[in-house]
Amino acid sequence: MKLNFSLTSVLVLTLCAVTRVQSQSVLDLPYASQAAQVKQRVGVTDITITYHRPVVNGRKIWGGLVPTGQVWRAGANENTTIEFSTPVSIEGKPLPAGTYGLHMIPNADTWTVIFFQNGGGVGKLHLQPE
């Protein structure tokens, strides 16, 4: 049996092979610290928190990877954000509707939560463990 290939057939087969190799080499692998999003309606306000869950992998997090007494960009990989669909009041302080970067200052007995918008601190909230 004799096979005849035309130049067009060879080019088509070559292009298919190259395309297949290129498509297999581009993998969109996830971060080790997976992205997550939590949405909840509280009253008439939709609250959305977008973050990456830090992978511990046996590391010391509090007082180690995350130093106490210093500003920490909460989460891993990217800035954690919180979005409010309507104006809210936190610890009696008004916070306009919008999306904020969420930063914290962890200490042994208190935490400070900082809401950032457009590069400036908007509000700080001090939390004490119960």
pLDDT-based confidence at residue 49 (cuts at 50, 70, 90): very high
C-alpha span between 130 and 62 (Å, rounded): 18
Task: List alpha helices for the chain, DSSP H.
Answer: 7-25
The Cα–Cα gap between 74 and 82 comes to: 11
pLDDT band at 58 (very low <50, low <70, confident <90, very high): confident
What ranges do the domains of the chain cover? 30-127
CA distance 64 to 61: 5
Closest listed residue to residue 84, CA positions, set 73, 71, 70, 100 = 100
pLDDT tier for residue 67 given thresholds of 50, 70 and 90: confident
Q: What is the mean pLDDT of the chain?
A: 77
